[in-house]
Amino acid sequence: MMDGKALAARIREEVAAEVAGLSPIGLATVLVGDDPASDVYIRLKHKASTEVGIVSRDVRLPAATTEAELVERVRELNAAGSIDGILVQLPLPDGIDEARITAAIDPMKDVDGLHPFNAGQLLLGRPTYVGATPVAVLALLDAYAVELAGASAVVIGRSDIVGKPAALLLLQRHATVTICHSRTRDLAAEVARADVVVAAVGAPGLVQADWVKAGATVIDVGITRTEAGLVGDVAPNVEQRAGLLTPVPGGVGPMTIAMLLRNAVKAARYRAGTLAFPAS
């Protein structure tokens, strides 16, 4: 089992030491509406920020907020001198075009890497901000010294926030990457060829033990709330097949929070000019 919790704790310590040596770092989150899962994520992000000394601002807007009002709030945060990083929690309520909102964020403050400029930089192999979850996937693979160059990697899920950036990061590390999704004809056969499997779907127990190549590394990004607690996309018996596997909870989740903190430090460095942000 890959211990995301322990690794995240180490990274948070490193971030806290870095933050102590910098001017106050401001991270703003924007939550529209009262989705309970989003509320939990936002709380975790603020708690973690505070613990490492990052000053977080919790902007909460009613579900009835219009797209124009939300764009206006984002612009205010873009202009705020005390704010280095901005994260708009997704999903947004129906009627708000997420692409419009992410495009309104100042690319230099876009810690989730969803602005077309930052997404494009990743596509071109010159990453600026990459979302915390895909970075967490790579950090876990690196921490366990998983060989990526030449390896066959299967990413299940093609969302802009997890699947696509995770696939691009793996490609950049010279893996041979296959991206699977809901229309993939034979998911079991695709997974069976993989040395590294990244499951980012949100379908409990989708990945079965008999699909997985013996000794493969399996990263379970999925989180589904059930009566039995949080469960991932990977069936429990995969533990017997995989060489390495991330638990849910305690794998990608805590690492995602740690990587968000890293992105906030990056934001402060970009804004201070100690790290060069490419001209957009």
Q: Does 185 bind ligand NAP (CB under 6 A)?
A: no
Strands 224-226 and 229-231: antiparallel
Starting at the earlier edge strand, list the strands of the sheet with 55-61.
Answer: 55-61, 26-32, 85-88
- Please pick, among 84, 110, 112, 220, the residue that the annotation labels catalytic: 112
| Contact residue for ligand NAP among 155, 201, 235, 261 (CB under 6 A) | 201
Catalytic site includes residue 89:
yes
Q: Which is nearer to ligand NAP, 78 or 205 (CB)?
A: 205
Nearest to 263 by CA among 106, 79, 54, 61: 54
Q: DSSP of 68-110, one letter per residue?
A: HHHHHHHHHHHH-TT--EEEE-SSPPTTS-HHHHHHHS-GGGB
C-alpha torsion angle, residues 277, 174, 120, 191 (rounded to 10): -130
Q: Does 151 bind ligand NAP (CB under 6 A)?
A: no
- Please give the DSSP secondary-structure letter assigned to residue 207: B
Q: Output the six-digit token pair for 13.
A: 């310590």
Q: Does 93 bind ligand NAP (CB under 6 A)?
A: no
State the binding string over 121-140 for ligand NAP (x if CB under 6 A, else -). Answer: ------------x-------
Q: Does 205 bind ligand NAP (CB under 6 A)?
A: no
The partner residues of 153 in beta bridges, in order of sequence, read: 177, 196
Q: Does 183 bind ligand NAP (CB under 6 A)?
A: yes
Q: Does 187 bind ligand NAP (CB under 6 A)?
A: yes
CA torsion sign for 83, 88, 89, 92 is positive
Of 42-50, 76-84, 190-198, 215-223, which segment contacts ligand NAP by CB under 6 A?
A: 215-223
Determine the Cα–Cα distance for residues 188 and 160; give it in Å rounded to an integer: 23
Catalytic site includes residue 45:
yes
Q: Does 221 bind ligand NAP (CB under 6 A)?
A: yes
Catalytic site includes residue 208:
no
Q: Which of residues 249-268 bind ligand NAP (CB under 6 A)?
A: 252-253, 256
| Contact residue for ligand NAP among 23, 182, 237, 240 (CB under 6 A) | 182
* Interacting residues toward ligand NAP by CB under 6 A: 133, 156-159, 161-163, 180-184, 187, 200-203, 206, 221-224, 252-253, 256
Q: Which residues are catalytic?
A: 45, 89, 112
